[in-house]
Amino acid sequence: YAERGIPWTHGTINMNAVNAAGDVSSCTTTSGISWKVPGRVGDSPIIGAGEYTDNTVGAAGSTGRGESNIMVCGAFLAVEYMRQGLDPQSALIKVMERVIEHTEPRLLDDRGRPRFDLSFYALAKDGRYAGATAYEGGRFAVCDEKGPRLEDSGFLFKRSERPSRE
Ligand code: ASP
């Protein structure tokens, strides 16, 4: 949120790709977040949290509240769920559920829903992909043989269930 006239900003991008040979790669870049504690690292540069790739399975990454992701190693967990046979969408929803289970109560509303934003993205080696957020309304960019476009992320809660921000 804006403070002293300076807007609250953040700026992470996770990109996952599979090439024609079936090789998977992934990258997460970030500016971090405004008002962070000096020395804060966030999840983006932590392999297994903000990004993870296994060329036999796929790749995953995140944007949003890094502290909540680090606690579950979200990108690693998404790839592990895909390794166990889950499709990317189901894998990401399970990661989001795990995040909420591990979230400290002060960051949840009285119904146990998160008061923060966190998004996950995943790509399987066979080209299936997905995004997921806690609340309806997330979108992510895709580019394949059908061209570039935005697609809707999966979600746990309807937009109307989102708690108001403090
Ligand atoms: N994930 C980043 C962090 O926690 C913030 C962002 O997504 O912009 O540092």
Q: How far apart, in whole angstroms, are the C-alpha atoms of residue 158 and residue 86? A: 23
Q: Which stretch of DSSP H or E encloses residue 75?
A: helix 74-83
Q: Which residues, including other chains, have CB under 8 Å from residue 54's CB and lie 6 or more apart?
A: 24, 79, 83
Q: Which atom of ligand 1 is nearest to the CA of 42?
A: 9
Give the sign of the dihedral formed by CA 158, CA 133, CA 18, CA 57: negative
3-state secondary structure of 82: helix
Enumerate residues lining ligand 1, CB below 6 A.
Answer: 10-12, 30, 32-33, 42-44, 63-64, 66
| Terminal alpha carbon distance of the chain | 10
Q: Which atom of ligand 1 is nearest to the CA of 65?
A: 4
pLDDT digits (tens, 9 = 90+) for 63-75: 999 999 999 999 9
For the chain, residues with pLDDT lower than 70 are 1, 165-166
What is the reported pLDDT for 162?
83
Contact between 33 and 10 under an 8 Å Cβ cutoff? The reply is yes
Which residue, among 99, 150, 104, has the nearest Cα to 120 in the 3D structure? 99
What is the reported pLDDT for 114?
94
Contact between 124 and 58 under an 8 Å Cβ cutoff? The reply is yes
Rounded to the nearest whole angstrom, what is the distance from the C-alpha of residue 69 to the centroid of ligand 1?
10
Rounded to the nearest whole angstrom, what is the distance from the C-alpha of residue 14 to the centroid of ligand 1?
10
What is the reported pLDDT for 31?
82
Q: Is the pTM of this model over 0.75?
A: yes
Substitution candidate for ligand 1 out of 37, 43, 62, 73 with most atoms within 8 A of CB: 43
Contact between 55 and 89 under an 8 Å Cβ cutoff? The reply is no
- CA angle (120 as vertex; 115, 122 as ends), nearest 5: 165
Substitution candidate for ligand 1 out of 13, 30, 41 with most atoms within 8 A of CB: 30
What is the reported pLDDT for 165?
60
Contact between 24 and 88 under an 8 Å Cβ cutoff? The reply is no
Contact between 69 and 99 under an 8 Å Cβ cutoff? The reply is yes
What is the reported pLDDT for 56?
98
The token pair that represents 95 in the structure block? 């990661």
Rounded to the nearest whole angstrom, what is the distance from the C-alpha of residue 3 to the centroid of ligand 1?
18
What is the reported pLDDT for 160?
85
Q: Which atom of ligand 1 is nearest to the CA of 40?
A: 9
Rounded to the nearest whole angstrom, what is the distance from the C-alpha of residue 129 to the centroid of ligand 1?
21
